[in-house]
Structure formats: C-alpha cells, structure tokens
A and B are shown apart, each in its own frame.
Chain A
C-alpha cells in the first residue's frame, strides 16, 4: 500500500520542508529567554523577601512595636519611630490633600485644554520626576532654613507633601473625570448650585477613586527616605510636637543598616514592618481601583 502513495503527496506532507526552520529556531530561543527571565526574576525576588524574613522575623514581636529603641536601635523596638512616621504622614496629608483635591477638581473641570491647565499639568509631570534627594535639598533650604522650621516633623511632612502632590492630583483627577457627565447635567437641570453639586454629588460619587489616590500618596510618602534625612532628621526619641525632629521608618532602616554596626537584624525587622504596611495599602488600593476606576492606573 505504502508504495502506491504518490511521491508528490509525500513531499506535500513533509512539514519540515514547509516550516521556516530559522523562524522556529528564533521562536524557541525567544521562548527560552522569556521563561528564563520570568523564572530568574521570580527566584531572585522570592530569595530577597525570604532572606529579609529570615534575618528580621526573629526580632518581630508585639513588644518590638511598642517599645522605644535602645542602644542606637540595636535593641528595643520602634515605637517612637512609628509615632514619628505617623506624625510626618499626618502633616504631609494635611497639606497635600486639600491642595491636591482642589487642583484636581479644577483640572477635571476644564473641558478645553486651556494654557493654564496645560502649564499646571506639565509642571506636575516634571515635579513627579524630580529626584527625592533634590526634594531633600529643597526642603532643607526652604522649610528648614528659609522658613526657620529647623529639622522637624513639620519640615519633613511638608517636603513629602510636595512629593506626593503629583500622584495625588493625577489619580484624583481621574476619579473625578470618571463620574459620568450626566450627573453634572442632571444636577444643573434640577437647578442645584455648583458647590452643592460637587459636595453632595460628584465628590461622593468619586470617593472610591479619591481614596485610591490617597492610599497611593500615602504609599509614596511611606517609602520615601532621601527627602527626609535632611528635613525631619535622625532623632529617634519620642517627638513631643511637630516642631521636634523625628525619624521615619525608612530613615531608621537606612541608619541601622549603614551607621550602626550590629543593627542589621532590627533593620530587617523594621523593613518587614514597612513592607507589611505598604502591601496592605497596596491591596487596599487595588480593591478600591478595581471597584471604581477599572484598571486604568499606571504604577509609577
């Protein structure tokens, strides 16, 4: 039987002759590279997190969170650091949220691209790219020296507010824009004034997205180190007011790792605390964004 099959069909069924061998080779090569990259990246990052856990988890306990640091942070906990961090964050949000929300409302309101809106947007884009150490220089010269606030939680918080503004405004503007135009029209048709429309309709409708922006801003501020070293300072004592110097979690990690021999374990433990807080905030953001904005946000 087999001898009766025409040889031409034999050739036709020969897939090897049809398929571009070079193309297949590249196909395999690219696939190997992609899988290798995915595997190596996953491995390296898992190793990183696991090593931080191995070095730091032994230190973690309830008393680590509630005790004051002792012996330059080698022993004791991070209570005063946590309080300082919260105070810096509080100052940052108190300054940046009203300013950011008002700016976002204005930018979202301008239907046409006015020159003013373009200039504000462009300068915010540049602001988003300014290196954090430059914010540190600026905060030191402006808040600490020029406005005579000294090394204080106030200076640090205000510097962070400048840093967090671009991301706050960008996400909040998107949240406001995601409210359907019909809501504006309906409220205008009912004769509601602009202020009542915004306070009772638009902002509540955008609240999920606004909250997502807020949480992103908090994450950005918590992760920051370089801008804080020369504005809110190093002091690890319990701050009594916003005019005292206070050490943020991130600065504590840096100081323990670099300037305190034998501080690595507590540095890793503090890093774990920071990571857990940030990852909780991250999952909160994702739930908020998933519910209110679709998946339009970019991670910067």
Chain B
C-alpha cells in the first residue's frame, strides 16, 4: 500500500517538469501581450488611443509643429493589401483545390500537388525579392513607379495561394464520398455537384482556411515591405504606393526612440488583436463544424 502511494507520488513528481513546460509554452502569448502593452503604454497614455486613429498624418519625430501619430492610412494600407490578396487567392485557391481533386488527369494530380506543396514552403522574403526584382519593374514599365498597392496584392496573393489551395483540397476531401456517389447517381452535372453538394459541405473548412490566411496576410511583413513602395498615404489607385502597419514597424524600429518606439509597439498591439480575433473566428467555425458532424 505504502509502495503504491510512493510510486503514485513519484509519477506525480515526474509530471511536474512536463506541467511546468506546458505552462511556460502557454504563457509565452501572455508574455508577448504583456510586453507589447508595457512598451506601448507611454503612447497609449500620453498620446491616447484616439489620436492613433484621428491624427491625419504620421510624423512621430516632428519637433516643430508637434508630433503626430495617425495610423489610419497605414491601417487602411494593411486592409487593402490583405483584402486584395485574399480576394485573389480565395477563388483561385479553390479552383486549384478542385483541380487537384477532380479535374486533373490522374498522372498530373500528384506531381501538381507536390509542386504546390513546395511553393507553400517558399519564404516570404523570396517572394519579396522576386517582386522587387521582376514584378515591380514590370508594373513600372506601364504605370510608374511600379512599387504599389497592386504589386503588394499580387505578391501577397501568390504567397498565400498555395496554402489556401492545399487547405481547400483538404476541406473538399473531407466531404463524404457517398454524397458525391449519390449525386452522380442522380445524374447531376459536375458543376451542380460542386456547387450544391461539395461546397456547402466543405464550407466550414474553406472559411477557416480563408480566415486564417487573412490573418497571415495581415501579419506579413517582408513581401509587402519589399514591393509596396512604403509611402504613407491613402492610395488613390492600385498603382499608388502604400505603407502597411507591418512595413512601418520594420522600417522604423531601428531608430525609433521614446514615444515613437511606443507608438510602434502600439501598432504591434493593433496587429496582434486583429490576428487574435481572426484566430478566434476560425476556431468558432471549426467548432461549429465539429458540432454539426456529431
């Protein structure tokens, strides 16, 4: 009896390092959030959250007329670039998913999927490099300067496309095969099967993919930084340069001091909350799906 208690006590003790590790892993997010808030606090208290949005311009180092901390233009830049990228990548990614699952000839489907998997692993800085060296000069030939909202949308869209396609294929593959066999037996056309049977059933998975990749697009820095031109302004057209929140941090972190630095951490806080909300939405879609499937 005593021995058994001792061994149970020992196994509990053995678990302790594991629990501490898991606790540490779980606490990193809290630590990040805590440090962001602490570092951003001077800006949040002295400048105020409201001025981060209401100031018309971003001049945090201006001495003469007083510094201004308006992030609205950059926030809009982020929304435009990420929104455009997802509008581009979602339908094309879905089409690629359908292609790999249903349309591709048998000999092509597997190599094609393998290529898409390789593309999903290309680092964002390589997309940015290609954008800066090839795409920006190409756009610049027709609509100078080239580094623009359009370049950002195209590069970011290309970057998230492979992952969207792979996730879309996974979502489509999760639809039970009986549904498809039944639809074929009913003599439905292929488009009808896709539109009326496949997509409604795969919708939660597709939505999760889109939501999570939107988060990735919002948070992306390098690719956007290298092709968007980084001018703080409301873009008048897709050929105008823009600066996103992430690019702004990357450009100015190196020399920012005091309130300026705090404001950059504030923009980091904005980015983080956007992403947290998206992850939360993604999870609710997934949870709802698991609930409905029993």
Interfacial residues, chain A to chain B (CB-CB below 8 A) = 20, 23-24, 26-27, 29-31, 33-35, 37-38, 40-42, 44-45, 48, 51-52, 55, 98-100, 102-103, 105-107, 109, 116-117, 119-120, 122-138, 140-142, 146, 162, 165, 169, 193-195, 219, 222-226, 229-230, 250, 253-254, 257-258, 264, 267-268, 271, 274-275, 278-279, 282, 286, 298-300
Contact string against A for B residues 227-268, beta-carbon threshold 8 Å, 1 for contact and 0 otherwise: 000000000000000000010011001100000000011001
Size category, B interface: 35 or more
Contact partner of B21 (CB less than 8 A), chosen from A99, A130, A138, A253, is A99
Contacts of A125 in B (CB 8 A): 279, 283
* Docked-complex contact A129 and B212, CB < 8 angstroms: yes
Residue of B with least CB distance to A25 = B191
- Indicate if the CB atoms of B121 and A137 lie closer than 8 Å: no
Determine if B129 is an interface residue (Cβ-Cβ < 8 Å).
yes
CA distance A26 to B134 in the complex (A): 36
Question: Would you call the interface of chain A mostly helix, strand, loop, or mixed?
Answer: helix
A-chain residues with CB within 8 Å of residue B225 when the two chains form the complex = 258
Determine if B166 and A299 form an interchain contact, defined as CB atoms under 8 angstroms apart.
yes
In the bound assembly, the distance between CA atoms of A286 and B276 in angstroms comes to 30
User: A219 vs B38: C-alpha distance in the bound complex, in angstroms?
Assistant: 32
Task: Note all chain A residues with C-beta closer than 8 A to B63.
Answer: none
The answer to whether A225 and B26 have CB atoms under 8 Å apart is no
Chain A residue at smallest Cβ distance from B10? A193
Find B39's partner among A99, A137, A194 (CB 8 Å cutoff). A137
Contact status B96-A37, CB under 8 Å: yes
Q: Determine which of A35, A136, A268 lies in contact with B133 in the assembled complex, contact meaning CB atoms within 8 Å.
A: A268
Identity of the chain A residue whose Cβ is nearest the Cβ of B134 in the assembled complex: A51
Contact with A along B255-294 (1 / 0, CB 8 A): 0000000001100100110011011000100000000000
Contact B39 A141 (CB under 8 A): yes
Given A38-B95, A279-B121, the answer on whether A131 and B219 have CB atoms closer than 8 Å is yes
Candidates B22, B95, B96, B222; contact of A106 at CB < 8 Å: B22
Contact A165 to B126, CB < 8 A, known contacts A37-B96, A38-B95, A131-B246: no
Cross-interface CB contact of B25 among A26, A55, A124, A299, cutoff 8 Å:
A124
Is B28 part of the binding interface, using a Cβ–Cβ cutoff of 8 Å? yes
Query: Is there a chain A Cβ closer than 8 Å to B215's Cβ?
Result: yes
B189 contacts A100, CB within 8 Å? no
Q: Are B103 and A223 in contact (CB-based, < 8 A)?
A: no
Query: What is the CA–CA distance of A84 and B249 in the complex, to the nearest angstrom?
Result: 24
Closest to B23 in A: A120
Cα distance A271–B126 in the bound complex, in angstroms = 6
Interface bits B118-149 vs A (CB < 8 Å: 1, else 0): 11111111101110111000000000000000
Per the bound structure, the CA–CA distance linking A66 and B91 in Å amounts to: 45
- Complex contact B29–A55 (CB within 8 A): no
Q: Report the Cα distance A194→B9, complex, angstroms.
A: 12
Residues of B within 8 A of A51 (CB): 130, 133-134
| Contact segment of B12-20, B53-61, B177-185 | B12-20
**Is B36 an interface residue, CB under 8 A from the partner?**
yes
In the complex, the answer to whether B276 meets A140 with C-beta atoms within 8 Å is no
Query: Using Cβ atoms and an 8 Å threshold, which residues of chain B touch A27?
Result: 189-191
Verify A223–B123 contact, CB threshold 8 A.
yes
Query: In this complex, what residue of B is CB-closest to A44?
Result: B158
- The reply to whether A120 and B22 form a contact with Cβ atoms under 8 Å apart is yes
User: How many angstroms between the C-alpha atoms of A72 and B165 in the bound complex?
Assistant: 39
Give chain A residues whose Cβ lies under 8 Å from the Cβ of B24: 99, 103
Instruction: Report the 10 A-B pairs with minimum CB-CB distance, sorted nearest first.
Output: A131-B219, A102-B21, A223-B123, A37-B95, A120-B26, A226-B221, A106-B18, A103-B22, A38-B99, A133-B221
Closest to B269 in A: A134
Asked if A103 and B123 make an inter-chain contact with CB atoms under 8 angstroms apart, the answer reads no
- One of A105, A119, A193, A279 near B118 (C-beta < 8 A): A279
Q: Which residue of A lies closest to B116 (CB)?
A: A41
Q: Is B126's CB under 8 angstroms from A253's CB?
A: yes
B103→A264 contact, CB < 8 A: no
Q: Which residues of A contact B265 (CB under 8 A)?
A: 137, 141
Please indicate the chain A residues that have their CB under 8 angstroms from the CB of B250 in the complex: 133, 136, 226, 229
Which B residues are in CB contact (< 8 Å) with A45? 115, 119, 158
- The CB with the most chain A CB atoms within 10 A, among B7, B11, B189, is that of B189
Query: Looking across the interface, which residue of chain A has its beta carbon closest to that of B247?
Result: A133
Known contacts A223-B123, A258-B132; decide if A41 and B96 are in contact (CB<8 Å). yes
Contacts of B122 in A (CB 8 A): 223, 275, 278
Contact A223 B25, beta carbon cutoff 8 Å = no
Contact A278 B25 (CB under 8 A): no
Contact of B276 among A129, A193, A226 (CB under 8 A): A129
A279 to B18, CA, bound (A): 33
The CA of A257 and the CA of B147, in the complex, are separated in Å by 14
A105 closest partner in B (C-beta): B18
Q: Write the nearest CB–CB distance from A115 to chain B, whole angstroms.
A: 12
Q: State whether A299 and B163 are in contact (beta carbons under 8 Å apart), knowing that A126-B29, A129-B215, A282-B118 are contacts in the complex.
A: yes
Determine the distance from Cα of A84 to Cα of B105 in the docked complex, in whole angstroms: 45
Are the C-beta atoms of A142 and B35 separated by less than 8 Å? yes
